[in-house]
Structure 1
Amino acid sequence: MGKLVWAAATAHTGAMMRAPAGDNDDLERAQRVFAGFRTLGESLKAARPDVLIVIATDHFLSFDYTVLPIFALGAGERFDGWGEFGVPKRDYRGHAGFGAAVHGGMVDAGFDLVSARDMKLDHSFSCPLQLLLDGWDLPILPLYVNCTIAPLPSLRRCLDFGAALGDVLRRQQAIERVAIVGTGGLSHWVGMPQTGTINRDFDQRFLDLFTAGRCEQIASWNSDEVIDSAGNGAAEIRNWIMAAAAARSKGAKVLAYEPVAAWNTGIGVTELLL
C-alpha cells in the first residue's frame, strides 16, 4: 500500500532559472522565492519519498494540435528534458512499474488517462524539479494536464481527478512512499498583449482559499473568468488543486509569494498540510 508522505504546490516560469538584473527590489523578491524553494526541497528530502509525482503542463513541445490529450501520464523509465527557454537541460529517472499501476488504477476509476512513455519534459516540469532536486535525484512520475488549449478540463473535473489519484496511490503496491507536487500559475499572461501584468489581488484570493483547504470553492470558479482576470497562465491552478485533492490536504503554508516583474508572474511556493 502506498502512503503520501509529502505534498506541495508551486508556480513556475522558465525565466525563474535566471535571477533578475537591474532592479534590486525585484532581485530581493526573487531571492525570497529561491529561499522558499530551498526550504521546500529540504522538506522533500527529509520526507524520504520513493518517487515524486509532478503535475504540470506543456507549452507546445511534447503536445500540440496534432496530439492533444486532456490528461497524460509519463509511464516510462526515463524522461528527457527539452532544455528550452534557457532552462538547463536535465533528464530524470522514472519508475515504469509504478506508472503502469497508476495508469491502470485511473482508467479503472473512470478517467481516460493517456500513457505517454517517452514524454519529454518542458520547463513546466523542469523548473520546479531543478530547484527542488538541487544536488540530488529522485525518480519522478510526470502527469500532464492540458492547461493551454481549449477546451480545458473543468476545475471540478481536475479536483475529482486528484481525489481519484489519491485513492489509486494509496491502493497501489509498486511504491511505498509517494510525494506529489502541482505546479503552474499564478497570475500571468503568455504570448498576450497583457504579458507582464501580475494580478496580485487574484493571487492573494487564490492563496487565501488554497491555504485554508477550500479547494472545493476554487473548483466552483468559472474558468473563463479566471483566465480573463489573471491570464491564460492562471489556468494552471488546476495542477495545484489536483495535488491538494490527491494528498487530502488540510490546507497549506505559504513559503513564498512574490510578484516578480522580471519573470512576468506571481510566484507562489507552498507546502501542503497532510
Structure 2
Amino acid sequence: MATLAAVLATTHHPFYLKLTHLDPPEQRIPQAAEWVRKVEAYRETLTAAKPDILVMIGADHFHQFFLDNYPQFAIGKAPKYDATYYNEMREFSLPRYVLDGHEELSQFILEGLIDRGFDMAVSNELKLDHSIICPIITTRPGADLPVVPIYTNIFVPPFPTPQRFWDLGRAIREIIDEFPSDQRIAAIGSGHLSLELGGPRQFQEHGPDPEFDKRAIGWLADGDIDGLMANVTRENLGTFGNATHGFLDLVTMFGIAGPIKAAYVDDLDLFHTREAYVTWYPNGAGK
C-alpha cells in the first residue's frame, strides 16, 4: 500500500514571489528576507518526506467556476495540467506551469470519495490557479512531481460545514492508505487564516482578526479538533474576515493528518495577513 509521507497545510500568498524575488531589492517588503527563510525552512519538511506524488487541495478563485456553477468538491483527472491564469501573471508575476497529473490515483480517489458519500465533480481539463501554484512555488519549486488536484468550495454560499471538510480529509486519508502502490504520497493544501478582501478590514496592520489566527494555528498545532469544531462554524467564519472561509481547506488537511500534533509549525505576521506553515508526519512516516 502507499505511504502517506507528509501532510502540509499552508496559506497561499500570491505576492510571495513578486515581493521577495522579482522586484528590485529596494522595492521588496521589509519582511522579505525573513519570509524567504521561513518558506525555505518549511520546504524542507516536504523534501524530507521524499514524496513521489502530491495530492493538492485548493480552490478555484472564479477562474474556471463561477456563482452559477461552482461544485462543492471537484477532482482533476488529466495527464497534464495547464496552470496560471493571465490575471495572475499580470497582477502577481506568477510564472506559467504545466504540471504532470497522476490519472490512476485521481481515479482511485474519485471512486473512493463517491463510495464514501461525496458527490464529486470531475474534470479532465482542469486548469489550475494560484491556490495550487503558490504552494508549488514555496514547497516544490521544481514542479517535478505528478499532482492530483482537488478543489473545494470556499467562496460560494452555501458552504459545506467544517465537519464536512474534516470528513473529506479523513476520507482522503483512508483512500491514500488503501492505494495499491509502494509510492510515497504527500498531501499539500492551501487556504487562509483570517482574511478580508475588498472590505473595511482589508489593510489592517495585523490582519482582520489576529486572535482568531492565533487560536487557529494552535488548534492545528495541538491536534485539537474538538476545540476547532467548538469555535468554527459555517456561520461565524465570515465574522473573522470576509474571506476566512479559506481556513476550511486547512481543516481538510488537518483531517488528512488526523487529530495528531503537528511536527512543524511556523507563522509570519505580514502587513495585512498572517501566514502559517504546518506539517504533520502521520505515523512518523516522514521523519
Q: TM-score, normalised by structure 2?
A: 0.87
Alignment of 1:96 onto 2:106: no
> What secondary structure does 1:209 align onto?
helix
Aligned to 2:213: 203
Task: Quote how far apart the aligned CAs of 1:215 are.
Answer: 2.3
Counterpart among 225, 235, 246 of residue 245 in structure 2: 235
> What secondary structure does 2:157 align onto?
coil
Alignment of 1:226 onto 2:237: yes
- For the 8 Å contact 1:30–1:258, the answer to whether it is kept is no
Counterpart among 164, 168, 181 of residue 161 in structure 1: 168
Aligned-partner Cα distance in 2 for 1:248–1:200: 25
Alignment of 1:147 onto 2:157: no
Aligned-partner Cα distance in 1 for 2:25–2:53: 38
Unmatched tracts of structure 2, length 5 or more: 283-287
Task: Quote how far apart the aligned CAs of 1:153 are.
Answer: 0.8
> What secondary structure does 2:211 align onto?
helix
Aligned-partner Cα distance in 2 for 1:105–1:55: 16
- For the 8 Å contact 2:160–2:234, the answer to whether it is kept is no
Task: Quote how far apart the aligned CAs of 1:174 are.
Answer: 5.0
- For the 8 Å contact 2:221–2:265, the answer to whether it is kept is no
Aligned-partner Cα distance in 2 for 1:81–1:141: 13
Q: What are the Cα deviations for residues 166-220 of structure 1, in whole angstroms up to 9, with x where unaligned?
A: 1111112256311001211012112323222302211101111110001233134
Percentage identity across paired residues of the two chains: 26
Q: 1:45-56 maps to which residues of 2 (within 5 A)?
A: 45-56=47-58
Q: 1:64-143 maps to which residues of 2 (within 5 A)?
A: 64-83=66-85, 84=88, 85-86=91-92, 87-135=94-142, 137-143=144-150
- For the 8 Å contact 1:8–1:180, the answer to whether it is kept is yes
Aligned to 1:177: 184
Corresponding pairs, count: 270
Q: 1:214 is matched by which residue type in structure 2?
A: D
Counterpart among 238, 255, 275 of residue 267 in structure 1: 275
Task: Quote how far apart the aligned CAs of 1:65 are.
Answer: 2.1
> What secondary structure does 1:18 align onto?
helix
Root-mean-square deviation (CA), in Å?
Answer: 2.2
Alignment of 1:190 onto 2:189: no
- For the 8 Å contact 1:51–1:175, the answer to whether it is kept is no
Q: 1:8 is matched by which residue type in structure 2?
A: L
